[in-house]
Amino acid sequence: MKLPNIKILNEKNKLLHKISNEVKFPLKEEDKKLINDMLLYLKMSQIEKYSEKYNLRPGMGLAFPQIGKLMRIFVICNEEEDGSFTNYTIINPKIKSESEELIYVGEGEGCLSVDRDVDGIVPRHARITLEYQDVNGNKQTIRAREDLAVAFQHEIDHLNGILFVDKIDKKNPYKNQELMREI
């Protein structure tokens, strides 16, 4: 596999704090290619042989703003328990419902745009229902839970100009931890 030429913006880039624009259909061919390149990049970053060869930090999701395009598109490449990968391409997402139960990632959330260790927890809903469009503009609905729900919420934040570090309480990074479940 050849590593796609993906340039991920660093957290200091002001573009990452801007709200992305709604996507119009049909998608341009260059945007479809970019989606496929981003998914391949994420998959390679999660396979040890490639992450070592290309010095990649493992990543599960990438949003278009992270590569400099203010479009409401993100992709997730989720490694399943059997070692296979499931790809998600989410365009113009809207959260339709979310659980009251809150969770947080025990080892802390990470982000390909944030190249440093960050202490603290990010409260996320344990389950969400998402309405979105696929690459052909068809309306879809997906229900996500646990890790996948966290990833979807993290990427939607990118589309709204929010980084996970913005959601950590600076004075009390573990605020209300006892009210949430660790995953």
Active site residues: 155
How distant, in Å, are the alpha carbons of 36, 118, 182 from that of 64? 12, 23, 29
Instruction: Give the pairing type, strands 61-63 and 73-79.
Output: antiparallel
Residue 113, SS3 per DSSP? coil
Helix (H) or strand (E) holding 87: strand 85-98
Which residue, among 90, 108, 111, has the nearest Cα to 39 in the 3D structure? 90
